[in-house]
């Protein structure tokens, strides 16, 4: 069974959003360059194991702040999968559509976005092992 492993909150003003979430909830927020000038804010809401980068508290997840787009206008949950390519085939067969195909993040893994049968955008994450 695949699990929810990450969340993303779309923002219009990343600086304002970092200040808000940092002060309101005490989250650790760090900017990361995803390549090509695309900045992403990682959100740490719970401690992680340094070797695996996974939360140490059962049931807890971390996330990110991303630039709001027409494809991602609302918060997105992300499901951890073994194979994004196989998962997207199942999504398409089940009536969903791919929004963002498999996209590599160097030294980490890959992600994709799809729209489910109800019109919700959901993320997929494949960890590089």
Helix, strand, coil percentages, rounded to 5, for the chain? 15, 45, 40
Q: List per-residue pLDDT tens for the chain, 129 residues long.
A: 999 999 999 999 999 999 999 999 999 999 988 877 788 999 999 999 988 778 999 999 999 999 999 999 999 999 999 999 999 999 999 999 999 999 998 888 999 999 999 999 999 999 986
Could you tell me which CATH number the domain at 4-127 has? Answer: 3.10.180.10
C-alpha to C-alpha distance for 80 and 70, rounded to whole angstroms: 24
Domain range summary for the chain, segments of one domain joined by +? 4-127
């Amino acid at each position: 069974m695949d699990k929810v492993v990450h969340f993303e909150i779309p923002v219009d003003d990343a600086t304002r959003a970092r200040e808000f979430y940092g002060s309101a909830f005490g989250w650790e927020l760090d900017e990361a360059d995803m390549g090509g000038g695309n900045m992403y804010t990682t959100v740490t809401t719970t401690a992680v194991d340094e070797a695996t980068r996974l939360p140490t508290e059962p049931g807890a997840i971390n996330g990110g702040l991303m630039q709001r787009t027409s494809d991602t206008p609302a918060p997105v949950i992300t499901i951890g999968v073994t194979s994004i390519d196989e998962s997207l085939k199942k999504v398409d067969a089940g009536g969903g559509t791919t929004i963002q195909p498999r996209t590599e993040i160097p030294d980490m893994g890959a992600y994709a976005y799809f729209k489910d049968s109800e019109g919700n955008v959901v993320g997929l994450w494949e960890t590089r092992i």
